[in-house]
Structure 1
Amino acid sequence: MQKIVRFLCIIAAFLCVLLGVIGIVLPILPTTPFLLLAAILFARGSEYFHRWFLSTRLYKKYIESFVQTKAMTKKEKCSALSMITVLLGIGFIFSPVWYAKALIIVIAVAHYIYISFRIKTVKPSEKEISSIENKKTEKIMT
């Protein structure tokens, strides 16, 4: 059973990577959440694939700085909230059931609260400096 779960995690992670790559080209599909989910699924499914994914340019360009600093720039927050609004708005418009619409509103509000108040906002220059410091600390520890 454990092997089946690990295999399914790996398959799902590759699917998330594919959706993340498609999201780079299509602005309606968010890239970062899919790549973060892929990292989590790879970690659960296979240490080999997890190490491989962490070494890819895709990971380093789109999510490494967020994972290391736990912070976003104002532009990144606005972009994330815009995508969330568009995607949940589409779901809200096409949902025929009132309780599904209510659930979508609750999810949207939770996203706005979490991104606005729980994720630290930094200037782009602060994020780069913090990311460099984290890399140095990581190298020293290994």
Structure 2
Amino acid sequence: MFKHFLFILGVISLILGTLGIFLPLLPTTPFLILSAYCFSKSSKKFHKALLENKIFGQYIRDYQEKKGISLKNKIIAISTLVITIGFSLMKITSPHLKIFLIIVFMGVSIHIIKVKTLN
């Protein structure tokens, strides 16, 4: 029963992570990492497919194995955050949503910076 729950959560987070590639307010990486974790506990087939994905498999493997993130990918990730959240902040009028986005930006940026940098 718990394996089924993790599998469904993995599929949902994979869908959300994929949507996050195209939607600036939706983060991609946390959902893909959650998918990898859920699939590692529920479906070896899906876990393997995710880790062998040509686009983001290596990034997930590096992160999951606690190797870290390359400097190039850290720069790309933080630059993408600045652009997408900056654009969103210019378009959104709600002060509460702006504060939320700033907190998300700070939290994700701090996490990326603190993760070990690969050579």
Range into which the TM-score falls when normalised by the shorter chain = 0.5 to 0.7
Other structure's SS at 1:69 match: coil
> How many residue pairs get matched?
114
After superposition, the C-alpha distances for 1:5-35 in whole angstroms (9 at most, x for unaligned) are: 76454233223334555777x6968654332
Separation (CA, whole Å) in 1 of partners of 2:7 and 2:115: 28
Change (3 A) 1:30 1:39: same
Tell me by how many angstroms 1:83 deviates. Answer: 2.6
Other structure's SS at 2:93 match: coil
After superposition, the C-alpha distances for 1:71-92 in whole angstroms (9 at most, x for unaligned) are: 1111110121123223323432
After superposition, the C-alpha distances for 1:67-115 in whole angstroms (9 at most, x for unaligned) are: 1134111111012112322332343233322122122112212222221
Partner of 1:121: 117
| 1:96 is aligned to 2:96 | no
Separation (CA, whole Å) in 1 of partners of 2:15 and 2:96: 32
CA RMSD for the aligned pairs?
3.2
Separation (CA, whole Å) in 2 of partners of 1:35 and 1:86: 21
After superposition, the C-alpha distances for 1:32-63 in whole angstroms (9 at most, x for unaligned) are: 433212123335xxx441x2233221274341
Separation (CA, whole Å) in 1 of partners of 2:90 and 2:118: 34
Separation (CA, whole Å) in 1 of partners of 2:110 and 2:3: 33
Separation (CA, whole Å) in 1 of partners of 2:112 and 2:104: 12
Change (3 A) 1:27 1:83: farther
What's the TM-score once normalised by structure 2's chain length?
0.68
Partner of 1:39: 36
Which structure has the larger Rg? Answer: 1
Partner of 1:69: 66
Separation (CA, whole Å) in 1 of partners of 2:91 and 2:23: 20
Contact in 1 for aligned 2:70/2:117 (Cα 8 Å):
yes
Change (3 A) 1:82 1:8: farther
> One-letter code of the match for 1:54?
H
The runs of 5 or more residues in structure 1 that have no matched partner are: 124-142
Range with greater deviation from structure 2 (53-62 or 99-108):
53-62
| 1:110 is aligned to 2:107 | yes
